[in-house]
Amino acid sequence: MTVRDVLNKKKRYIAILLYFSFAIFLLGFLFSVIFPAFAVIGFWGFGIFFVTLGYAYFGIRCPVCRGIWGILAMRSGTPFSISRKLKFCPYCGVDLDSQDERMLLNRTG
């Protein structure tokens, strides 16, 4: 697994959670027009969305140096992967397409 694979995996997971919670938020409030109890579900979707957004900013880190990729990872590339134009980590300079052994030392799980 390369450094890019690790970042893509995390971004994909976060993107799915973001879309899913936003859909819950929208549907919850749409249905609350007819069934007021659905507003609770809408609030949950809203809450999960913002918690996930916070995680996206601080949780997407370089697996080698733990540098915070957050905005850089989320704004570039497709919704499910980081941009192909990004070749190196801006913090430690590791090649994203390499399998750096320091990555394994910092792995948290």
Residues that bind Zn ion (CB under 5 A): 62, 64-65, 67, 89, 91-92
Tokens describing residue 27: 């549907």
Are 96 and 88 in contact, with CB atoms under 8 Å apart? yes
* Residue 108 CB, nearest approach to Zn ion (Å): 15
* Residue 103 CB, nearest approach to Zn ion (Å): 9
Sign of the Cα torsion 40, 43, 45, 51 reads negative
Nearer to Zn ion, 19 or 91 (CB): 91
Residues 6+ apart with CB under 8 A from 71: 57
* Residue 102 CB, nearest approach to Zn ion (Å): 9
**C-alpha–C-alpha distance, residues 103 and 69, integer Å:** 15
Nearer to Zn ion, 48 or 65 (CB): 65
**C-alpha–C-alpha distance, residues 39 and 33, integer Å:** 9
Nearer to Zn ion, 4 or 45 (CB): 4
* Residue 65 CB, nearest approach to Zn ion (Å): 3
Nearer to Zn ion, 19 or 57 (CB): 57
